[in-house]
Amino acid sequence: MLKKPNIAALLLATVALIGGQAYAGEASYPGAACVKWSAGDPQPLLSYSEILNPSSTAWLRVDCPITRTDFDSFLHDAGVESSWVRMVDRHYTSNGSCRLVSYSHNTDGTASYWTTGTQYTSGTGNQAQQLNIGSLDGENGASHLYFSCQIPPTYAGNYSTLVTYYVNQ
């Protein structure tokens, strides 16, 4: 006697074979998740989960970590499909900037490094400007992802802030 195939088991096996991973998807992070580059950078302020530059003379350089959820699998390449950063630029003569970075410190002592082009704010104001950073394909299984950003100094008592950042892996 011929048995009927279990459709649910076949479907589950097919998804596991093709996908080979959990769906990576989209994630947004608060600006307060960013960390300053070095001790020489101004001590940032945090407000409503945003990171603010309180210095009237120095740029605040920050790295904003991204939880990597997308790894190479059968029929699927790892990478960032789209990304953006929202920044409020209140400096009248300088523009904030960000780029997406994938970095790996390899076991042989070398480093691998991939990056997008740098995107800049345009003009000043109280509204958040969205910097569309885009995609990043270059990476390996050991790399980690982060945005590298520069927040302009305070101008006339008004703080520039990094509000939030987003990735779709």
Instruction: Give helix then strand counts, H and E, for the chain.
Output: 1, 12
Per residue in 52-75, pLDDT (tens digit) is: 999 999 999 999 999 887 665 544
User: What 3-state DSSP class applies to 131?
Assistant: strand
Taking only the tens place, the pLDDT of each residue in 2-43 is 555 444 444 444 444 444 444 568 999 999 999 999 999 999
The reported pLDDT for the residue numbered 50 is 98
Q: For 95-110, what is each residue's pLDDT tens digit? A: 999 999 999 888 898 9
Contact between 149 and 86 (Cβ < 8 Å): no
Instruction: Read off the tokens for 24.
Output: 């990576």
The domains located in the chain, with CATH, are 24-168 (2.60.120)
C-alpha to C-alpha distance for 80 and 67, rounded to whole angstroms = 11
Under 8 Å between Cβ of 52 and 45: yes
Spacing of C-alpha 88 from chain mean position: 17
Do residues 167 and 145 make contact, with C-beta atoms less than 8 angstroms apart?
Answer: yes
Tens-digit pLDDT profile for residues 126-167: 999 999 999 998 666 778 899 999 999 999 999 999 999 999
Alpha helices in the chain (DSSP H): 7-19
